[in-house]
Structure 1
Amino acid sequence: MKLSEENLKEISELLDTGMDCFYHLLTGQIEYHPDVNHPYFEPEHWTDVIQRIDSENENYIRFKKMDANQSFKVMEDFAKSLEDSLFKSKLLLALTKPKPFRNYKNLIDASDFRNQWFDYKNKIYIEFVRQQAELLK
C-alpha cells in the first residue's frame, strides 16, 4: 500500500504520541484513539471513533507503535550517531541506568541536541510506518 508523505507523517506523529492509529482503505481517512488498555483511558470521549472502526474493521488497517525495545534502539542509535563524544557518552550512560527513557529525555531536553533528536526520531518513525504500509501491499 502506498501512502502519501502527509499520511505517513500524520500516522507516525499519532503513534509517537501513544495513539492507536487506523487507516481506512476505501476512503483514505485516518482514525485514531488512545490505547483502550491504558489505565487513564476515558472511553466516553472516543465512543464514536471506536464504534466506527469496529463496525468496519475489515476496511481498516491498524498501524503498530514501536515497542519499548524498538524505541530504545532508536535512542541508542541517535546517541551513537553524535560527534560530540561527551554528550554521546552521557546519553549512552543514561540508557544503562534505571528509568532510561526518562533519563534520556531529561538530557535531551536540556541540551542543544533537542531539535536534532526530534528530527531524527520523526524521520525514523516515518520510515517505520512506511515499512508497515509496504508490507500491506
Structure 2
Amino acid sequence: MKLKVDLEDVLEALELRTRESNYFYYKKTGEVFMIMDDELRAGEEDPDLDKFPEWQRENIKAAVDIISTDDYIRLPDDYEIDDYSIMEDFCYSIEDEELREELLYAIRGNGAFRMFKDKIYQYDIEDQWYDYKGQKYKDIAIEWCEENNIEYQEN
C-alpha cells in the first residue's frame, strides 16, 4: 500500500513549526500532527497519564507509540529548514541591484529577520517574499514526500 498525505497538511506543519514542536506523519492514517518536546520526553519514560492534564494525554500516548514503533515519520524541523538561507536566496533573486544590496545588508548581524521584514514592507515586496517562501516550503514538502515514498495530493 502506497502512503498518501495531503500536501497542505505538510506545508502547514512546516510553516507552524517551532523549536519546541515536532510534527509527524502517521503511516496508518496519513495524518500529520504535532507533539511538543515535553510530551516526547514524557513518552520516553513510563508515563503515569494521570499526572498530565486530560488534553495532553492523547499526545503522550502517541509519543509512546512514536518511540516504540516505526509507524511515524518525522517532518523536517528547524534544524533541517534553513529559513535564513531562504531569506538570503530571496535577496539574491531581486533584480534591482540597489534594493538587493539593501536587503542583503539588512540581514547581516543581530535582528536579521526583523530588519528583513521591515525592509520588505518598506519597499512593498512582502507579497513577492511570501510567494517565494511559500514555493521554497512547497519544494521542501515535495522533496520530503519523495524521500519517504509518500504520495501527495494537492487541493
The TM-score, its normalising length taken from structure 1, stands at 0.76
AA aligned to 1:26 is K
C-alpha contact (below 8 Å) 2:19/2:78 kept by paired residues: no
1:76 aligns to 2:85 (yes or no): no
AA aligned to 1:118 is Y
| Residue of 95, 102, 107 corresponding to 2:119 | 107
| Residue of 28, 31, 34 corresponding to 1:32 | 34
Identical-residue share of aligned pairs (%): 27
1:120 aligns to 2:136 (yes or no): no
Deviation track 1:18-71 (CA, whole Å, cap 9, x = no partner) reads 7421111101122114554xxxxxx96962353132132122211122439821
2:63: which partner in 1? 54
Quick one: structure 1 residues 49 and 106, their matched pair in 2 at CA, closer, same or farther if it must change by over 3 Å?
A: farther
AA aligned to 2:108 is T
Moved more, 69-78 or 10-19: 10-19
1:39: which partner in 2? none
- Work out the number of aligned pairs and report it: 132
Counterpart CA distance in 2 for 1:60 and 1:113 is 39
Deviation track 1:61-117 (CA, whole Å, cap 9, x = no partner) reads 111224398211111110111122222111100122322222212222333111111
Counterpart CA distance in 1 for 2:18 and 2:133 is 9
Quick one: structure 1 residues 133 and 68, their matched pair in 2 at CA, closer, same or farther if it must change by over 3 Å?
A: closer
- Structure of greater Rg: 2
Unaligned runs of 5+ in 2: 39-51, 150-155
1:5 aligns to 2:14 (yes or no): no
Counterpart CA distance in 1 for 2:63 and 2:36 is 15
C-alpha contact (below 8 Å) 2:24/2:34 kept by paired residues: yes
AA aligned to 1:70 is D
RMSD, aligned CA: 3.0
